Amino acid sequence: MDLYCKRCGEPCELDHVQLELTPQERNDFHDGICCPSCKGKKIERTPFRAVIAAELHALLGDDLDGLACEMEDAEMMLGGEFWE
Protein backbone atom coordinates (compact mmCIF):
# COMPACT_ATOMS: atom_id res chain seq x y z
CA MET A 1 0.00 0.00 0.00
CA ASP A 2 1.13 3.51 -0.74
CA LEU A 3 1.23 6.78 1.10
CA TYR A 4 1.17 9.90 -1.05
CA CYS A 5 3.29 13.02 -0.70
CA LYS A 6 1.23 15.98 0.49
CA ARG A 7 3.31 18.28 -1.71
CA CYS A 8 3.72 16.53 -5.08
CA GLY A 9 1.29 13.61 -4.79
CA GLU A 10 3.85 10.94 -5.69
CA PRO A 11 3.24 7.50 -4.16
CA CYS A 12 5.68 6.10 -1.62
CA GLU A 13 5.43 2.53 -0.41
CA LEU A 14 4.32 2.44 3.25
CA ASP A 15 7.19 0.13 4.25
CA HIS A 16 9.69 2.39 2.49
CA VAL A 17 8.48 5.41 4.46
CA GLN A 18 8.49 3.56 7.77
CA LEU A 19 11.70 1.55 7.40
CA GLU A 20 14.04 3.04 4.80
CA LEU A 21 13.79 6.82 5.10
CA THR A 22 16.02 8.62 7.58
CA PRO A 23 14.23 10.20 10.55
CA GLN A 24 14.60 13.65 8.90
CA GLU A 25 13.23 12.41 5.56
CA ARG A 26 10.33 10.72 7.38
CA ASN A 27 9.51 13.93 9.27
CA ASP A 28 9.70 15.97 6.05
CA PHE A 29 7.34 13.49 4.37
CA HIS A 30 4.82 13.50 7.22
CA ASP A 31 4.95 17.30 7.58
CA GLY A 32 4.30 17.78 3.86
CA ILE A 33 7.64 19.51 3.26
CA CYS A 34 8.86 17.06 0.61
CA CYS A 35 9.37 13.44 -0.31
CA PRO A 36 12.38 11.82 -2.00
CA SER A 37 10.74 12.53 -5.40
CA CYS A 38 10.19 16.27 -4.95
CA LYS A 39 13.03 17.23 -2.63
CA GLY A 40 14.65 20.35 -4.02
CA LYS A 41 12.21 20.66 -6.92
CA LYS A 42 9.69 23.39 -7.60
CA ILE A 43 6.07 22.20 -7.68
CA GLU A 44 4.00 24.06 -10.27
CA ARG A 45 0.60 22.79 -9.17
CA THR A 46 -0.51 20.69 -6.20
CA PRO A 47 -2.15 17.52 -7.55
CA PHE A 48 -5.61 16.54 -6.33
CA ARG A 49 -4.26 13.34 -4.74
CA ALA A 50 -1.84 15.47 -2.67
CA VAL A 51 -4.77 17.51 -1.35
CA ILE A 52 -6.63 14.29 -0.49
CA ALA A 53 -3.52 12.94 1.25
CA ALA A 54 -3.13 16.10 3.34
CA GLU A 55 -6.78 16.11 4.42
CA LEU A 56 -6.81 12.42 5.28
CA HIS A 57 -3.54 12.78 7.18
CA ALA A 58 -5.07 15.62 9.23
CA LEU A 59 -8.12 13.45 9.91
CA LEU A 60 -6.32 10.18 10.72
CA GLY A 61 -3.19 11.54 12.39
CA ASP A 62 -0.50 8.91 12.94
CA ASP A 63 -2.61 5.97 11.68
CA LEU A 64 -0.46 5.30 8.62
CA ASP A 65 -2.07 1.95 7.85
CA GLY A 66 -5.49 3.59 7.88
CA LEU A 67 -4.18 6.44 5.75
CA ALA A 68 -2.78 4.03 3.16
CA CYS A 69 -6.10 2.13 3.07
CA GLU A 70 -8.12 5.33 2.64
CA MET A 71 -5.84 6.51 -0.17
CA GLU A 72 -6.27 3.17 -1.91
CA ASP A 73 -10.05 3.54 -1.57
CA ALA A 74 -9.87 7.08 -2.97
CA GLU A 75 -7.89 5.85 -5.96
CA MET A 76 -10.48 3.13 -6.64
CA MET A 77 -13.43 5.54 -6.27
CA LEU A 78 -11.99 8.40 -8.32
CA GLY A 79 -10.25 6.44 -11.06
CA GLY A 80 -8.55 8.76 -13.55
CA GLU A 81 -9.43 11.91 -11.62
CA PHE A 82 -7.16 10.69 -8.82
CA TRP A 83 -4.13 10.96 -11.12
CA GLU A 84 -4.92 14.38 -12.64
| pLDDT at residue number 28 | 93
φ and ψ at 40, to 5 degrees?
Answer: 80, 5
β-bridge partners, 13: 2
DSSP output for 42-62: --SS--HHHHHHHHHHHHHTT
Tens digit of pLDDT for each residue in 35-54? 999 999 998 999 999 999 99
β-bridge partners, 2: 13
What are the domain boundaries of the chain?
A: 2-83
* Average pLDDT score, the chain: 91
Average of per-residue pLDDT across 8-31: 92
Average of per-residue pLDDT across 51-80: 91
Please choose, from the candidates 48, 49, 43, the residue with its C-alpha nearest in 3D space to the C-alpha of residue 70. Answer: 49
